[in-house]
Homo-oligomer: A and B are copies of this chain.
Amino acid sequence: MEMEQMVSASSHAEAGPFTRAWHWLKALPEKLWSKFVSVATKAKKLGQDDPRRIVHSLKVGLAITLVSLFYYFEPLYDGLGVSAMWAVLTVVVVFEFSVGATLGRGVNRGLATLLAGALGFGAHRLASFSGNICEPILLGLFVFLLAAVVTYIRFFPRMKARYDYGLLIFILTFCLISVSGYRDDEVLDMAQKRLSTILIGGATALFVCVFLCPVWAGDDLHNLAAINMEKLGSFLEGFGNEYFKTPSQGQSMEDKEILQGYRSVLNSKTTEESLANFAKWEPRHGRFRYRHPWQQYLRIGSLTRQCAYRIEALNGYLSSELKASQEIRSKIEDPCTKMSKDCSCALKELAQAVKTMTKPSTANCHIANSKIAAKSLKSMLKTGLWQDTDLLEIVPAATVASLLIDIVSSTEEIAESVNELASLANFRSVDDTGVAKGESKLSCSSSIKGPHHIITIHASTQSE
């Protein structure tokens, strides 16, 4: 497309400005059309990636229309007057994607307005006792002090995480009430109007947000934890085949994409933290009670990232320059493949357990199996199998083995934290429901394409 344009541009380089302008104009509709098509494609993809985005947009439209029409038919609610626009404003700024975020903003806005209104009224009364000359000075001082102090408080990490918006509204309302109060002495009336419009706006936003296809931040956090573990599992599942394949075996684009899926886990911290903050605002919903242990998801997330960092180091050894020779690789193939498959299986089972909120049943068994494989790898390294080989050639293979052993211990830590979550959140145990058992078994065996080695757990492995 651009190539074509360049060619046509160069062939008309000698033509007059009118000819050039004509050609530019002639190309314009096509350019605009291609721009439109690319934007439309992107918009379609955004909707396909997460259809809740489309629903959210329609919900926002609905809530704003409701409040606007309420404002339009204002005579019905004669008391509100011009401050009714605060209702529209409240809906626009409070309506967020998830229920938790909307609730958080709504509560912040409501409480901050109430508190700051009271304080502003007090400041206004105090200043009005001090005479005509002192009053503006005193008011200015109050506003300056409050704005500076509250702005400083916004830097506290904990306050920033949960009350940032409330602190902003606090400053805003205090200034409006304390200063504007002087003009007309109807401060109380104004405060009451402002509060009632905020309540109307906030209630509309909340109602639409909660009762029409609600999006729960808690659900998202819960699923994100499961998806991230699953992504690591998918990498480890594919790793064995990819690393130990012979050069003749090709690799499909799809395989490559699955292997690279873990990358998004590396930078998941910010998303997880904000989701956890939103989730804390949310009431009991679906499978989650009010004080669900959201903090534990952050712990699981941080251990998952720890594992992802190790996988990132491992991923470097998939590139052909850094691979050990075919011969050496084939020597460690069996235990390494077992380790990565078993870790993959454990991670996928943990992910499934979180998803279905059942206690993980076979993950420990898989981890024990991968430990056995690690042990057999270690004892294999002890044997005289390597006497003739160059140490330099073994190093990359040894590194891969070593990183895999680290990943096994990482997986074990993840499993522990998931178990902790299971007991904190009272996950039901698998024995209770035959269905859950069937599900988790299905997912585990279906996720392994190669032969699945069943190894009986030896008593001595637990001690490792």
- A interface vs B, CB < 8 Å? 42-43, 46, 53-54, 56-58, 60-62, 64-65, 68-69, 71-74, 82, 85, 88-89, 92-93, 136, 139-140, 143-149, 151-152, 155-156, 168, 171-172, 175-176, 179-180, 182-183, 266-267, 269-270, 305-306, 309-310, 312-313, 316, 378, 381-382, 386, 390-392, 394-396, 398-399, 401-403, 406
Contact = CB atoms under 8 A, between A and B. Distances in A.
A147 B68 CA distance: 11
Contact of A71 (B53, B180, B270, B313): B180
B89 A172 contact: yes
Contacts of A395: 381, 398, 401-402
A56 B396 contact: no
Contacts of A396: 402
Closest 9 pairs (CB-CB, A-B): A61-B148, A399-B402, A313-B313, A57-B152, A381-B392, A61-B147, A57-B151, A61-B144, A60-B151
Contact of A313 (B74, B267, B310): B310
B140 A53 contact: no
A176 B313 contact: no
Contact of A140 (B68, B176, B399): B68
A398 B172 CA distance: 61
Given A61-B144, A73-B136, A74-B183, 18 more contacts: A46-B152, A60-B147, A61-B146, A64-B147, A64-B171, A65-B144, A68-B143, A72-B139, A85-B180, A88-B172, A88-B179, A92-B172, A306-B312, A309-B309, A309-B313, A382-B391, A396-B402, A399-B402
Contacts of A386: 391
Q: Mostly helix, strand, loop or mixed at chain A's interface?
A: helix
Nearest to A58: B148
Nearest to A73: B136
Contacts of A69: 136, 139-140, 179
A65 B143 contact: yes
30 contacts: A46-B156, A53-B152, A57-B151, A57-B152, A61-B143, A61-B144, A61-B151, A64-B143, A64-B175, A65-B144, A68-B175, A71-B180, A72-B182, A73-B136, A82-B82, A88-B172, A88-B175, A89-B176, A92-B168, A93-B172, A266-B309, A270-B270, A306-B312, A309-B309, A310-B316, A312-B313, A381-B392, A382-B390, A391-B394, A399-B403
Contacts of A176: 85, 88-89
Contacts of A58: 148
Copy count, this protein chain: 2
A147 B309 contact: no
A78 B128 CA distance: 23
Contacts of A305: 266
Contacts of A168: 92-93
A445 to B, nearest CB: 31
Contact of A398 (B71, B93, B175, B399): B399
Nearest to A402: B399
Contacts of A136: 69, 72-73
Nearest to A65: B144
Contact of A309 (B82, B312, B390, B392): B312
A418 to B, nearest CB: 21
